Amino acid sequence: MGLPLRALLGACRPWTLRLGPRPRCSPRMAGNAELPSPAGSARPQDRRSRSGRAGGVRVWEDGEHPAKKLKSGGDEERRGKLPKRKVVLLVAYSGKGYHGMQGVSAAGQVVSLKVWLIDGILEKINSHLPSHIRILGLKRVTGGFNSKNKCDARTYCYLLPTFAFAHKDRDVQDETYRLSAETLQQVNRLLARYKGTHNFHNFTSQKGPQEPSARRYILDMYCEEPFVREGLEFAVIRVKGQSFMMHQIRKMVGLVVAIVKGYAPESVLERSWGAEKVDVPKAPGLGLVLERVHFEKYNQRFGNDGLHEPLDWAQEEGKVAAFKEEHIYPTIIGTEQNERSMAQWLSTLPVHNFSATALAAAGTGGKLPGPLEGSEGDGDTD
């Protein structure tokens, strides 16, 4: 008998997969989720008795009834005798067909919760899931582990067609374009400038340059060698950082694209980290994928203590790669070919005002001009 999906994953806020309508009840707290108790168990606060008995029979307050004993058998009975253990699940999902989990695709999301470690638990969970949502691994962790709070860094990748780097004099969507070694070197030189600690207040919304939380540390950012799918050339940009704000990664990619294409001077990159307001373009959210969640400090302390495994998921790398090739990349590539989100966004760059400042914004009611307004929730967040 399989475990209900909502019981296992619906309690893992903020990383929540909802395959149906939103539940009316609010989800449990992140990182310390517990599954519902087995049938037949009752919480002490659910029933209260008066201090006395009538005719040898306990009297219950109005509207309250003693819990009925239900017969349980099979998995329920065995599960009720097992203690719940804190574990983490390695989750992969394509960015369509569900609600929650921060709204982007993921090849290596991690959620923490307590479960009964019954036989074949991964197979039973996956039996309730569609093929584009999979649980790829499970590991025991310490009792107080919280997958959100214990995270040291996150790695995202951004898949985009390489015609995004073509010079502005070429057609906005030239599918015959192939990324040259020289242009790839320029892209990587610009991406490398993001490394280190910078003030990214211009790469998100509603943060000022004086706010400490606007300063973020980027460990690495680079573009890999391109590859061809369905006659169209693509490349993957990878970025690893301690944490990211809303839209930060999309704007980091968008500004580099604008510079490489010749719409913005390279000096705007340095200026965007300063105190003045710079209108940074935001690349489409389609290609953004959460690739890995890092727990390096946890691994140093508990990974080799003889009781717990390091959270590196080395044995699951094959499953992760296969899931990306089967579900994530085809979804992104197919959607790009059908909806042309990158080409549409590129067509807005010629009218983008890269010299816009806070002073210019004041003349438009405090809002920076620009056609790049988009929905929130791409997922590159704290």
Each residue's pLDDT tens digit in the chain (382 positions)?
Answer: 333 334 444 433 333 334 333 433 333 333 333 333 334 444 444 444 444 444 443 433 344 444 444 444 555 665 557 789 999 999 999 987 666 665 789 999 999 999 999 899 999 999 999 999 999 999 999 989 999 999 999 999 999 999 999 999 998 888 899 999 999 999 999 999 999 999 999 999 889 999 999 999 999 999 999 999 989 999 999 999 999 999 999 999 999 999 999 999 999 999 999 999 999 999 999 999 999 999 999 999 998 888 888 999 999 999 999 999 999 999 999 999 999 999 999 999 998 888 765 444 444 433 333 332 333 334 445 4
Residue type at position 37: S
In a domain, 140, yes or no: no
Structure tokens at 307: 């009781």
* Among 1, 89, 81, CA closest to 38: 81
Alpha helices in 173-233 (DSSP H): 181-192
194 annotated ligand binder: no
> Reduced to 3 states, what is the DSSP secondary structure of residue 86?
strand
CATH code of the domain in which 165 resides: 3.30.70.660
In a domain, 201, yes or no: yes
CA distance 182 to 141: 46
CA distance 115 to 37: 10
Please tell me the predicted confidence (pLDDT) of residue 83: 85
Contact 8, 88 (CB under 8 A): no
Structure tokens at 113: 């919760």
> Reduced to 3 states, what is the DSSP secondary structure of residue 197?
strand
In a domain, 133, yes or no: no
In a domain, 31, yes or no: no
> Reduced to 3 states, what is the DSSP secondary structure of residue 3?
coil
Domain count, the chain: 1
In a domain, 236, yes or no: yes
| CB neighbour list of residue 31: distance below 8 Å, 6 or more residues apart | 112, 145, 146, 147, 148, 149
The parent domain of residue 334 ranges over 154-291+322-352
- In sequence order, what are the beta bridge partners of 93? 106, 133
In a domain, 180, yes or no: yes
Please tell me the predicted confidence (pLDDT) of residue 26: 35
31: phi then psi, degrees, rounded to nearest 5? 80, -15
Taking each helix axis from N to C end, the angle separating 248-261 and 181-192, rounded to the nearest 10 degrees, works out to 140
Please tell me the predicted confidence (pLDDT) of residue 306: 80
| CB neighbour list of residue 71: distance below 8 Å, 6 or more residues apart | none
Numbers of helices and strands, H then E, in the chain: 11, 14
Structure tokens at 39: 């049938």
Through-space distance between the first and last CA atoms of the chain, rounded to whole angstroms: 37
Please tell me the predicted confidence (pLDDT) of residue 99: 64
In a domain, 125, yes or no: no
In a domain, 62, yes or no: no
232: phi then psi, degrees, rounded to nearest 5? -120, 135
